[in-house]
Amino acid sequence: MEFRAWFQCINGCSGQYELTEIIYRCPDCGDLLEVQHDMDLLKKRSGDEWKRIFMDRYRTNDWPYGSSVWGKKELVCPNVDNDNVVSTFEGGTNLFWAERLGKQWGLEDLWIKQCGMAHTGSFKDLGMTVLVSMVKQMIANGKNIRAVACASTGDTSAALAAYCAVAGIPAIVFLPKNKVSLTQLIQPITHGILTLSLDTDFDGCMKLVQKLCAENDIYLANSMNSLRIEGQKTISFELVQQSNWEVPDFVVIPGGNLGNVSAVGKGFQMLYDLGIISKLPRLVCAQAERAAPLYRSYKKGFKNFKPIRAKKTLASAIQIGDPVSVKKAMRTLKAFDGIVEKATESELANAAGRANRTGLLCCPHTAVALAVTEKLARRGVFKPTDRIVVISTANGLKFTDFLTKYHMNKLKGIESEFPFSAVELPADYDRVRDTILENIGA
């Protein structure tokens, strides 16, 4: 069966554009594009048939379907030949029952979708596999693409660098100087990808990279390129599949540039339209208080969205004041009875500390989502038996500086509620034994 997808304007302008065209914005109104699938073709298979196909492919060795993104290829990006897929076996990340953490907030059914258990340590791999595969397809078709570039708060650049290195495609990444973790900075460097560290913030990098791409046959890999959204929407497919096709009551997503909250919504909507699920969850977008332009607008019924200058936050990957996908996100949140809530630096740090005590290793962005979860539980928006899925966006190992300083109570202006540090002792049996017995309360 032949499936079809194309770009079209989010405002409903009439043009349709091939996914192999180099186009990011609507030529008529200048707004973002989105990928539209031929739903009539997809509906020729029943919801049950799709479920069976997805279950059969899950983590199989059959290229490229063992990747949980490409295992849903027909719903994601049917326009790439399997030979041109650039994949590192994305997805299939653990859906973790946060039993002990949930109990502390009176929640019996709290789950964490561990999207950071990924090739480059964040959910950005899910979208980047689609974008870089499409670039490989375009190059195979004879398109003139000299390189691929992105601005990033650290995770998009790591993913772009790795996927381009896998495919042998040149790439350039723009990073705001001193605003990403050391691991994130070193990731593109290890792959030999041209890494620019610029004296500005993310929004400043974004402006430069857009101009560079528009004028130099360089392909733009930021999430205004809606190919990435198609890959990221498999987060919803996966977490439903992992719950035996049951839909949670709420999904909590940390939001910066706001592509991912749109992607998660798009995933659920598609499953619903294809008869794979029969209800929709409510979506919660969690922002860091120091970079919360969507929260401000939400408080006014999503009227008068105004970009802000984002202030420095521990949640550096969502330190964005002028989110590219704000319109898509507002549309999504309205359709999903959405909530936007924010967390302060102290709230996010201590949410991470609390979660770490229950066996997690929280990145600061996941911590924003957890802090917001705690708030909504205390406020009674989340009921004790509601099923809540928190999207963990990155692996805590990328943010060891944050974790070290938090647990050693060295984060400026923050009182750690869960301080802990290593005990240094001489290699003397009696001292070691006495210290241990004191600690385990003997």
Ligand X SMILES: *Cc1c(COP(=O)(O)O)cnc(C)c1O
Q: Which residues bind ligand X (CB under 6 A)?
A: 122, 124, 155, 223, 254-260, 317-318, 363, 365, 393-394
Spatial separation of the C-alpha atoms in residues 282 and 303, rounded to whole Å: 20
| Residue 314 is a binding residue for Zn ion (CB under 5 A) | no
Cα–Cα separations (whole angstroms), residue 266 to 35, 140, 178, 343: 10, 29, 34, 25
Q: Which one of Zn ion, ligand X, none interacts with residue 26, CB within 5 to 8 A by kind?
A: Zn ion
Q: Which one of ligand X, Zn ion, none interacts with residue 318, CB within 5 to 8 A by kind?
A: ligand X
Out of 9, 164, 310, 372, point to the residue binding Zn ion (CB under 5 A): 9
Backbone angles phi and psi of 179, in degrees to 5 = -120, 15
Residue 214's H or E segment, with its range, is: helix 202-215
SS3 content of the chain, % helix, strand, coil (to 5): 40, 15, 45
Report in angstroms how near the CB of residue 77 gets to Zn ion at its nearest.
Answer: 22
Taking the least distance from each CB to ligand X, the nearer of 64 and 116 is: 116
Taking the least distance from each CB to ligand X, the nearer of 32 and 42 is: 32
Report in angstroms how near the CB of residue 117 gets to ligand X at its nearest.
Answer: 13
Spatial separation of the C-alpha atoms in residues 144 and 67, rounded to whole Å: 28
Out of 29, 186, 189, 397, point to the residue binding Zn ion (CB under 5 A): 29
Spatial separation of the C-alpha atoms in residues 231 and 75, rounded to whole Å: 10
Report in angstroms how near the CB of residue 394 gets to ligand X at its nearest.
Answer: 3
If binding means CB under 5 A, how many residues of this protein chain bind Zn ion?
A: 6
In this structure, how many other beta carbons lie within 10 angstroms of the beta carbon of residue 190? 12
| Residue 16 is a binding residue for Zn ion (CB under 5 A) | no
Spatial separation of the C-alpha atoms in residues 438 and 425, rounded to whole Å: 14
Report in angstroms how near the CB of residue 330 gets to ligand X at its nearest.
Answer: 13
Q: Which one of Zn ion, ligand X, none interacts with residue 60, CB within 5 to 8 A by kind?
A: none
Taking the least distance from each CB to ligand X, the nearer of 120 and 137 is: 120
Q: Which of 232, 259, 220 is nearest to 76 (CA)?
A: 232
Taking the least distance from each CB to ligand X, the nearer of 66 and 255 is: 255
Taking the least distance from each CB to Zn ion, the nearer of 26 and 367 is: 26
Contact call for residues 335 and 269 (beta carbons, < 8 A): yes
Report in angstroms how near the CB of residue 34 gets to Zn ion at its nearest.
Answer: 11
Longest CA–CA span in the chain (Å) reads 79
Q: Which long-range contacts (CB under 8 A, 24 or more apart) does 307-312 make?
A: 307/203, 309/201, 309/203, 310/201, 310/202, 310/203, 312/179
Please give the distance of CA 350 from its chain centroid, rounded to a whole number.
22
Report in angstroms how near the CB of residue 12 gets to Zn ion at its nearest.
Answer: 7
Q: Which stretch binds Zn ion (CB under 5 A): 27-35, 56-64, 89-97, 268-276?
A: 27-35
Report in angstroms how near the CB of residue 19 gets to ligand X at its nearest.
Answer: 20
Taking the least distance from each CB to Zn ion, the nearer of 30 and 384 is: 30
Contacting positions for Zn ion (CB under 5 A):
9, 11, 13, 26, 28-29
